[in-house]
Structure 1
Amino acid sequence: MKPKVPATTAHIRLPPFTDVLPVPVFFRTERMPAHASYPILRHAWGEFVYSFSGVTEVTAGDQYFLAPPHLGLWIAPETEHTGFNHQAAVHCSMYIRRDLCNGMPDYSCAVMVTPLVRAILEHLRDLGNTPEPEPARERLLRVLVDQLSTCRTTGSFIPHTDDAQLNAVLQPLRDDPADNRTIAELAAAFNLSERTLIRRCQTELGMSLTEWRQRVRIVTALPMLRSGRSVEAVALDLGYASSSAFIAMFRRLMGSSPRRFFAAELTGAANADQ
């Protein structure tokens, strides 16, 4: 499957270069308006994408990825890809020369960034885009490359589909994860039978609609929790009747409760600083 730019694209963004990487590691920040996209790209270097706000969406090879503020995205060298976003977003791209990518996977994947990596990314963002990095900045970029290689990776997490009718059902759930309509109600709203909707989800997404929408809620919840909001407030915002139901879902998908998940994250940052 070739990467596809959404038909709703209103703004086309061009990368700073496509043929030659001018330095071993190049970092830049981009502010993307709503309904913006990049053209289809393929380059010899690796690319790491991270959103400071909003959600960047990327199709890489035959996979679809979301890059919200808690997840980074690694695009392996020579991978055909394109990026786009439905809502306004601020993200960074770090281009890494191929011989420096040895510590990274040879396939594209989502990256669970550590607090240390996040802090470096935010520091580089605040420095702004500079065509000729200073030596201290170049050293920091090399440290960032090393730290990225220690981060946990995961799959695309939220599968995508090219089925236009199914995607019409999914888009409102992406836009409003608190939408609690049942499968029967969603099927009826989009002129599908319940059985057809269930079958298409399994065929196109490889999982049930319930599983898919829970993953969307996880992606939405993580930056909210990281900002200091309580579990109860986040659970209610995402349409859960109680925090216990949200915690059970979080534990099943992430392997621990929200409290333990973020405690482990902080412990990892402390260890990295030692």
Structure 2
Amino acid sequence: MGAASTVQPAKSCGPDTVAASELPVTGIAIHYPQGHVVPMHQHQHGHLIYASQGLLRVEAETGQWLVPPTSAVWLRPEVAHRLIVPVALQAHGLFIRKDICANLPTTDCVVQVSGLLRETITELTCVDYTTPLSRRTHLLSELLLEELNTPPALPFHLPWPQDAQIQNVCHQLMGDPSHQATAGDWASTLAIGEKTFHRRFVKSTGMTFGKWRQQLRLMSSLTQLMQGAPITQVALNSGYDSHSAYTTAFKKQFGHAPSEFIQRQLVMQ
């Protein structure tokens, strides 16, 4: 969420006012249509982005995150990022003053949003920050900070390489997650040995090529699932040979079968 967006917030004070506030916690709710992109930007405060409806992709130099309705992405102060909206989105953005962030997660991550945290976020994004704040708002802010110390990081993160050649491979895979080229094929394309390719890939991403590609495929498949595509079609589009192979990988990664995952998202909306 940032000043570059042309989408109108659902309250009188805009994103610039909220993001620049010196209050401990401020928030804003904005609706983004499908396909909307907020260009690369950054905030001086810590930034928590929760999608109560739809799906959001957050891209930064350090990686990419997908945010379904049961989750929120946490970004540390001054982390440059852009937002991509693959499915129409109701977003809630909270800004937490930099000096307070020392007690919050020390890495950018996606966190689980409990029922209590969800309601706290929603309440804080309905506040009019141009008027004096009530005791209730201050208490809600304290509750939010306490809750953010609790949720564990979730597996919705895709690390992004800094190595230019490996980055080019990842860009191509992003464009076609079902791409079947092996590590050996990519190594030949780059005119390097396969062992060298594997070593550089792990060094640049912290993950093996196979694990990274699987995580990309599973994360990319969420957009299709949220758009209502049949699971078998999603599996094939994502590079899996069958419904069962996709379901097994999905459940291992996210803890739920694809059908259960979608049902959970619908309940949260």
Scaled to the shorter chain, the TM-score interval is 0.5 to 0.7
Describe how 1:134-213 pairs up with structure 2 within 5 A: 142=140, 145=144, 149=148, 151-154=151-154, 157-213=157-213
Q: Secondary structure at the match of 2:157?
A: coil
Secondary structure in structure 2 of the residue aligned to 1:166 = helix
8 Å CA contact retained: 1:217, 1:238: yes
Segments of 5+ residues of structure 2 without an aligned counterpart are 6-14
Shift of 1:85: 5.2
Report the alpha carbon displacement of residue 22 of structure 1 after superposing the two structures with TM: 5.0
Q: Which residue of 1 aligns with 2:65?
A: 66
SS in 2 for 1:180: coil
8 Å contact from structure 2 (residues 73, 108) kept in 1: yes
Deviations 1:160-193 (CA, angstroms, capped at 9, x unpaired): 2111111001011122212222222233334443
Q: Is the Cα–Cα contact under 8 Å of residues 65 and 158 in structure 1 kept in the other structure?
A: yes
Question: Contact (CA 8 Å) 1:115, 1:266: kept in 2 or not?
Answer: no
Q: Find the aligned partners of 1:223 and 1:85 in 2 and give their Cα distance.
A: 14
Give the aligned length: 246
Instruction: State whether structure 2 residue 54 is matched by structure 1 residue 55.
Output: no
**Are the equivalent residues in 2 in contact too, given 1:75–1:108 (CA < 8 A)?**
yes
| Aligned CA distance change for structure 1 residues 88 and 235 (closer, same or farther; 3 Å) | closer
The corresponding residue for 1:27 is 28
> What is the Cα-based RMSD across aligned positions, in Å?
4.5
**Does the 8 Å CA contact 2:40/2:82 hold for their aligned counterparts?**
yes
For the structure 1 residues 264 and 166, does the alpha-carbon distance in structure 2 shift closer, same or farther, using more than 3 Å as the test? same
Q: 1:230 to 1:115 in 2, by over 3 A?
A: farther
Over residues 240-269 of structure 1, what are the superposed CA-to-partner deviations in whole Å (9 max), with x where a residue is unaligned? 2211111121122223433444566678x5
Partners of 1:115 and 1:176 lie apart in 2 by: 36
Q: Which position in structure 2 is the counterpart of 1:82?
A: 80
Q: Residue deviations 1:37-77, cap 9 Å, x none?
A: 115x443xx31024655522134xxx43424445521124x
Change (3 A) 1:156 1:228: closer
Distance 1:171 1:250 in 2: 22
**Once the 2 structures are TM-superposed, how far is the Cα of residue 102 of structure 1 from its aligned partner?**
9.7
Letter in 2 for 1:82: A
Could you tell which deviates more after superposition, 27-36 or 194-203?
Answer: 27-36
Please name the residue that 2:41 is paired with. Answer: 38
Shift of 1:117: 6.9
CA contact (8 A) 2:92 2:122 kept: no
Q: Could you tell me which runs of 5 or more consecutive residues in structure 1 were left unpaired when the two chains were aligned.
A: 1-11
TM superposition shift of 1:122: 9.0
Identity fraction in percent: 24
SS of equivalent residue, structure 2 residue 159: coil
Which residue in the other structure is 1:5 paired with? Answer: none
Once residues 235 and 27 of structure 2 are traced to their aligned partners in structure 1, the CA distance between those partners, rounded to angstroms, is 39
Supply the distance in 1 between the matched residues of 2:222 and 2:72 (Cα, whole angstroms). Answer: 13
* Residues 265 and 86 of structure 1: CA distance in aligned 2, closer, same or farther (over 3 Å): closer
Quick one: distance in 2 between partners of 1:175 and 1:147? 39
Partner in structure 1 of residue 239 of structure 2? 239
Counterpart amino acid of residue 231 in structure 1: I
TM-score, L = length of structure 1: 0.66
CA pair 162-171 structure 1, distance change in 2 beyond 3 A: same
8 Å contact kept, 2:48–2:95:
yes
Give the TM-score taking structure 2 as reference length: 0.67
List per-residue Cα deviations over 1:171-223 (Å, max 9, x = no partner).
11122212222222233334443232211112222221110011112212224
Distance in 2 (alpha carbons) for counterparts of 1:253 and 1:27 = 32
Superimposed CA distance per residue, residues 6-26 of structure 1 (whole angstroms, 9 cap, x where no aligned partner)? xxxxxx949716654357322
Q: Which moved more, 1:190-199 or 1:234-243?
A: 190-199
